[in-house]
Amino acid sequence: MIPTSENKETNIARKKYWKTNLKYLGALLSIWFLCSFGAGILFRDTLNEIRIGGFKLGFWFAQQGAIYIFTILIIAYIFLMNKLDKKYDVEDDN
């Protein structure tokens, strides 16, 4: 690649794009961990003291809640990344 100023600009923009992507990943995966391994396993005994209808909360996270949250996380990621692709003009526009 010839180091023209345009390339340099693209490179800086791309670095920013990647950094933002990693930031999103960090945030979404933290939620992913907290609602499955956290709420469903590690803290389930504490959460089980709280009840919603017939569900103990820790049990609910392990058998239902985590799955709903996983789906929402992926939808959020699709939404965030589509916006980011547009912003940095790296989307696949063909």
* Residue of 22, 21, 47, 37 lying closest to 70 (CA atoms): 37
Min dist CB 7 to another protein, Å, is 13
Give the integer Cα–Cα distance in Å for 61 and 69.
9
Cβ atoms 62, 51 nearer than 8 A: no
Min dist CB 53 to another protein, Å, is 4
Query: Which residues contact another protein (rule: CB under 8 A)?
Result: 14, 17-18, 21, 25, 28-29, 32, 36-37, 40-42, 44, 48, 52-56, 59-60, 62-64, 66-68, 70-71, 73-75, 77-78, 81-82, 85, 89-94
